[in-house]
Amino acid sequence: MRLPLNQRIAILLHEGIKGTRGKTGLSLLRYSEAPIVVAIDRECPGQSLPELTGIRRDVPIVASVSAALEYKPQVLVIGIAPLGGVLPDDYWHDIKDALAAGMSLVNGLHAPLSTIPDLKALLKPGQMIWDVRKEPPNLGVAAAMARTLPCRRVLTVGTDMAVGKMSTSLELHWASKLRGWRSKFLPTGQTGLMLEGDGIPLDAVRVDFAAGAVEQMVMRYGKNYDILHIEGQGSLLHPSSTATLPLIRGSQPTQMILVHRAGQTEVADGVLIPPLIDVIKLYETVASAGGAYPKVPVAAIALNTRHLNEVEAKAAIAQTEAETGLPCTDPIRFGADKLLDAVMQK
């Protein structure tokens, strides 16, 4: 399942356009082909989305679902991704207003909404609630089968959560297709699933089967494509992240792209980010499993420079290249060709 391309979409994004928890909605606004007709954020109604975010999509911003009804949306998407995936209390009013107005609901948070009696009672024929984070059926444990595939398997890994791993994988996928390669983007999170359809909500999978779920997905596509771009999740550096290791184990990557936010020095609760050269060694060591598998290189670095102006961004990229000896760019700002060239050379 994916976002419907024939229905008008509203994105619920309170405190998400300017804040740090709006990555789902902002990614949909940047990448989705669906007709998104309005964004809802009480912090900035009436302001320009392109000016606030740099996203080239001139969608109006309003303060509430009630105000959004002017644009005749048919589907409401919860566009925030708060830590822990719990719906904020102040979102309930907008969600009930949307369902009462006849809209369907797309929920990418951990807590399912389709089973809540008060919400089910508001549904009329033709309406639905899609809880994106559901464990796929018929899962097993991993067996390192992906290493038998002939295709390149490029996994994005990060120094933190929400630094741009999905965006980097998508940009690499599109750059690959422009070169005429058979390329497939494999989503592993709620936003990617809304965009692409095929994939897995990795953080909804029981830990024993997480690597197996990744392996099953990669094996399903690996023989039919030249290159797979596997969406990374979490970070080996983050104390609450459990998704990165199953991704490495299940996908058996041939290359990795390290994603980092320029200037960031720590993750949650003051956990320091080591020098990038040490982070690269960490990921390469884990991916190579101490020599049990072939060496898996970090081929390049995707630098998130959204908070910098262009001069500062180029300086940060040059400094990162000097520190690590690896190619670096911001794929959203400057395109992914430099990263893709590095992948093909490794």
Express each pLDDT in 171-190 by its tens digit: 999 999 999 999 999 999 99
- Whether 126 and 164 map to the same domain: the answer is no
- Whether 82 and 223 map to the same domain: the answer is no
Higher pLDDT residue, 28 or 89? 28
Q: Which two tokens stand for residue 181?
A: 């390669």
Cα separation, 51 vs 78, in Å, equals: 22
Give the residue from 290, 276, 21 showing the smallest Cα distance to 158. Answer: 276
The answer to whether position 137 is within a domain reads no
CA distances from 98 to 9, 40, 154, 217 (A): 11, 12, 39, 34
Position 2 scores a pLDDT of: 79
119: containing domain: 9-131
Give the residue from 184, 254, 243 showing the smallest Cα distance to 210. Answer: 243
Cα separation, 13 vs 79, in Å, equals: 5
- Whether 158 and 249 map to the same domain: the answer is yes
At 136, is the secondary structure helix, strand, or coil? Answer: coil
- Whether 156 and 117 map to the same domain: the answer is no
Q: Which residues of 301-321 are buried (b: 16+ CB within 10 A; e: fewer)?
A: bbbbbbebeeeebbebbeebb
**At residue 346, does pLDDT exceed 80?**
no
Cα separation, 33 vs 28, in Å, equals: 8
pLDDT band at 90 (very low <50, low <70, confident <90, very high): confident
The answer to whether position 293 is within a domain reads yes
Max CA pair span of the chain: 60
123-168 pLDDT, tens digit each: 999 999 999 999 999 999 999 999 999 999 999 999 999 899 999 9
State the average pLDDT over residues 285-302: 89
Tell the residue number behind the tokens 């309406």, with chain if given. Answer: 127
pLDDT band at 84 (very low <50, low <70, confident <90, very high): low
At 260, is the secondary structure helix, strand, or coil? Answer: strand
- Whether 45 and 192 map to the same domain: the answer is no
Cα separation, 154 vs 231, in Å, equals: 9
The answer to whether position 16 is within a domain reads yes
CATH number at residue 248: 3.40.50.300
The answer to whether position 4 is within a domain reads no
Which of 101, 131, 161 corresponds to the end of one domain? 131
Position 307 scores a pLDDT of: 92
State the average pLDDT over residues 274-290: 94
The number of domains in the chain is 2
Q: What is the mean pLDDT of the chain?
A: 94
**At residue 39, does pLDDT exceed 80?**
yes
CATH number at residue 30: 3.40.50.720
State the average pLDDT over residues 194-220: 94
